[in-house]
Structure 1
Amino acid sequence: MTKEIQRINLDAGFPGTSRQITVHRYGTRGARPKIYIQAGLHAEEIPGMLTVAHLVRRLDDADSRGEILGEVVLVPFVNPLGAATWINGVLVGRNDLGGEGNFNRHWPSVAESVAAEARHRLGDDEAENLRLLRRILGRHADRLPDESEVQKIKKTAFQLAFDADVVIDVHCDRDAIIHAYTYESTWPHVADLCAQTACEAVFLEDGLESAGTSTDLFTGTWELVRNELGHLFPIPIGCQSVTLELRGQADVCDEFASADADALLKFLQRRRVVAGDPGPLPEPRCKATSLDATDLLVAPRGGIVTYKVPLGAQVSRGAVIAEIVDPSADDPLGSAIAIRTKTDGIVATRTLIRFVPRGEVIGKVVGAVRLRSGPLLER
């Protein structure tokens, strides 16, 4: 048995208050490949937490049979702070109520300082450059600030994952099909993960979004260092990071979680982190598309959202996806305003709360033609 359970204190900063992150480690530290998987960064997104809980059981069994070949680090519940943010009986774990904003934005950037430290130490050997940069990243992870709980959560995740070959940050949307976000530089290297988990949409970011997500730290650091120094030295993308969105917030059940855990285990087997035959790779359910080709459907006014097509529907440009009904109008049903898509594509997400303010994103249609520029992610 190689398993180690690690508990990391977040130091809540209030008398009588304590929170911790529980880490499940498998394999020998430093073994390759290394895979890091976390869930619950947005604490109201429960499907991933249950999925990783199921994966813990599967890896416990594999470990008991001596089947851990590389290193796996699992964090089923990375944000206990967010899970404590209840208002009027509603869990609002997406944003820090103390003022630090969205838990998956404003992750620290270390690329500039890493590049500066590495500039005069890199050479012509790509493998040695990879090892050097990982050592530098480890030092920078240890130097990150941790004065607040939010900072400590992000620092802890980086310390656990800075040298991982693959990072999987498991989320969900409000009401959605399975989909994923990754960098163009990591595609198609992570196509096996997306096919194995039955993703019906894959969004590719160009590395210039700078929203400060976990992907921007885990893969974006390598992207930026390579942009700075890649013309001088051979520098690989040392971490393939994927944000995996497991359906919607209400899709919490053992049946889904068990199937998703099976898929993740097969991915680990396929990457030879865990021994075993994963079987043939499923045919991909979609082509990857640029994030700027996604049509964000925005409510033109507040009201009741009524959808006219189901999730996963293939739609054509101009199709009515939803209507907004003003219940305060003299003729409420006659007030309905249609929301039409600007692209051919698949309906990937919808809002779960069907009463919205003006300007709220009520869905996404994934297309193939560029529609947007500038900031592409929702807040």
Structure 2
Amino acid sequence: MLALSHLARRLDECDARGEIRGEVVLVPFVNPVGAAGWINGVLVGRNDLGGEGNFNRHWPSIGKSVAADARLALGADEIANLHALRRIIGEHADELPEGSEVQKIKKTALQLSFDADVAIDIHCDRDAIMHAYTYESIWPDVSDLCAQTGCEAVLLEDGTQDAGTSTDLFTGTWERVRKELGHLFPIPIGCHSVTLELRGQGDVGEAFASGDADALLKFLRRRGAVAGDPGPLPESLCEATSLAATDLLIAPRGGIVNYKVPLGAYVSRGTVIAEIVDPGADDPLGSAMAIRTRTDGIVASRTLIRFVPRGEIVAKIVGRVSLRSGALLEP
């Protein structure tokens, strides 16, 4: 949110100089309900206290119904199909329910973004390096964003997990329509969606936020939405890898997390990433249980909370060898 505050000022300045060439929709924060979710001085805004679950999941799934409505509206012209599908997706966005605050948030988000060429869902993780999630089908089309922002890991979903993320809504809707009707009509992917993790919560501050805003503005200039020279594109800091190759390290019991390697370290399979210390044991340090990674890769994220329950994800190691299937963002 701080990075977007800096970007908003830069865009206002660009607007005053007449440099806005496209349409840029900037939402300072998508989740005002979660922003009010405080318990005993701790912000627990990721999950709805009213019982509707994780704000970052369970986004509407409209691809099949859009495809059904689009069957008679599409033809041989891909550009015409792009516009027709955006119109139909917009109609479906308007028809989404809004019986609760959470439904209203997600409906409004789609109404603001259904016709976007690029939708960037900006977050920060708990304790993490700069990284991004996107679909295999739009890589390397969004590699300029990842290079410009200095991503040290890019995780690619194959689009089959249906994890209910924003990417599943924005890009996934187009993927579903192509799956249903692509054998009949030329159908582009009309929205390239990227979830961009601006490091971790402990990194929030002026230096990073200002630099990230500069990088996002350069991306907008490079894409022609804002006039001006973005300068040379930085070299990519990583290769994109399959999300299925990410090792989620799970606490085997509750206790104190004692990390043995730093964030961003490259590690080998079998390396002890952390230990879980039981402070109630007769010999707490002697009780430590090692958590080892199953892959060679980079330590991309960790938990900020150092006292964890059993089953908590304590780290994610981004590797190259497939390890998982199913809803890959969850244990």
- Compute the displacement of 1:104 (Å): 1.1
Of the three residues 262, 267, 270, the one matched with 1:315 is 267
Aligned equivalents of 1:374, 1:57: Cα separation in 2: 41
Is 1:182 the counterpart of 2:134? The answer is yes
- Compute the displacement of 1:320 (Å): 0.8
Map 1:1-379 → 2, pairs under 5 A: 49-378=1-330
TM-score, length-scaled by structure 2: 0.99
Per-residue CA deviation, residues 168-199 of structure 1 (Å, 9 max, x unaligned), is 00011110000000001110000000000000
Find the residue that maps to 1:180 and give its secondary structure: strand
Gaps of 5+ in 2: none
Aligned equivalents of 1:360, 1:91: Cα separation in 2: 18
- Compute the displacement of 1:237 (Å): 0.4
Per-residue CA deviation, residues 43-77 of structure 1 (Å, 9 max, x unaligned), is xxxxxx01011000000000010000110000012
Q: What is the identity, as a one-letter code, of the residue corresponding to 1:364? A: K
User: How many matched pairs?
Assistant: 331
Aligned equivalents of 1:273, 1:330: Cα separation in 2: 63
Aligned equivalents of 1:302, 1:172: Cα separation in 2: 25
Aligned equivalents of 1:251, 1:101: Cα separation in 2: 27
- Compute the displacement of 1:105 (Å): 0.8
Aligned equivalents of 1:129, 1:279: Cα separation in 2: 34
Per-residue CA deviation, residues 255-281 of structure 1 (Å, 9 max, x unaligned), is 110000000000000001001111110
Find the residue that maps to 1:262 and give its secondary structure: helix
Q: Give the aligned partner of residue 6 of structure 1.
A: none
- Compute the displacement of 1:378 (Å): 2.3
Per-residue CA deviation, residues 311-357 of structure 1 (Å, 9 max, x unaligned), is 11011111111111000000000001111110000000000000111
Aligned equivalents of 2:197, 2:160: Cα separation in 1: 21
Cα RMSD, aligned residues only? 0.7
TM-score, length-scaled by structure 1: 0.87
Q: Give the aligned partner of residue 26 of structure 1.
A: none
Aligned equivalents of 1:156, 1:119: Cα separation in 2: 26
Aligned equivalents of 1:77, 1:137: Cα separation in 2: 23
- Compute the displacement of 1:121 (Å): 1.8
Aligned equivalents of 2:28, 2:289: Cα separation in 1: 42
Aligned equivalents of 1:377, 1:264: Cα separation in 2: 25
Q: What is the identity, as a one-letter code, of the residue corresponding to 1:336? A: A
Aligned equivalents of 1:232, 1:245: Cα separation in 2: 37
- Compute the displacement of 1:137 (Å): 0.7
Gaps of 5+ in 1: 1-48
Find the residue that maps to 2:107 and give its secondary structure: helix
Aligned equivalents of 1:57, 1:205: Cα separation in 2: 33
Q: What is the identity, as a one-letter code, of the residue corresponding to 2:28? A: P
Structure 1 consecutive aligned stretches of length 4 or more whose deviation exceeds 4 Å: none
Q: What is the identity, as a one-letter code, of the residue corresponding to 1:209? A: Q
Q: What is the identity, as a one-letter code, of the residue corresponding to 1:95? A: N
Aligned equivalents of 2:129, 2:171: Cα separation in 1: 24
Find the residue that maps to 1:263 and give its secondary structure: helix
**Percent identity among equivalent residues?**
79
Aligned equivalents of 2:77, 2:141: Cα separation in 1: 22
Aligned equivalents of 1:323, 1:365: Cα separation in 2: 15
Find the residue that maps to 1:304 and give its secondary structure: strand
